[in-house]
Amino acid sequence: MILSVFIIFFLAAGIFFFSVGTVGLLRFPDVYTRMHATTKCDTLGIGLILFGLCLHAGLSFETAKLLLIVLFVWITNPTATHVIARATYHAEARREGVKSDD
């Protein structure tokens, strides 16, 4: 019973962070600010939802797979966002004919 309450809390918190990230993606004015909003969405949203599913699965092989997904997403999503931000910055600098300062 108390476990169900915790699972529902984690799922609801994950859906909340996904919705907040989506609102940021739709409403923010700039590419870099949109990137900032979606990174919060990726890390917290998917982490909380998969952690709630871990509580449901208990101590089993499925929990190991879920934690593997969480670890992988937490490593790759900041890397991907960093690479895209760098690419956008260099492309803008090249298009405007200025030398980028890094």
Partner 1 sequence: MESTFIVAAIALMFPLFACLYRAIRGPSATDRVISINVIASKTVAIIALISFATDETFFLDVAVVYALMGFIVTIGVAKYLEYDDVS
For the segment 31-60, give every residue that binds partner 1 (CB under 8 A). Answer: 31, 34-35, 38, 41-42, 45-46, 49-50, 53, 56-57
Q: What are phi and psi of 101, to 5 degrees?
A: -95, 40
Q: Coil, strand or helix: which one is 59?
A: coil
Does 13 bind partner 1 (CB under 8 A)? Our answer is: no
d(CA 20, CA 48): 14
45 near 21, Cβ under 8 Å? yes
Does 81 bind partner 1 (CB under 8 A)? Our answer is: yes
Does 67 bind partner 1 (CB under 8 A)? Our answer is: no
Residue 33: partners with Cβ closer than 8 Å, 6 or more residues away: 24
Residue from 6, 19, 78, 100 touching partner 1 (CB under 8 A): that is 19
Q: Interface with partner 1 by CB under 8 A: which residues?
A: 4, 7-8, 11, 14-15, 18-19, 21-22, 25-26, 31, 34-35, 38, 41-42, 45-46, 49-50, 53, 56-57, 62, 65-66, 68-69, 72-73, 76-77, 79-81, 83-84, 86-88, 90-91
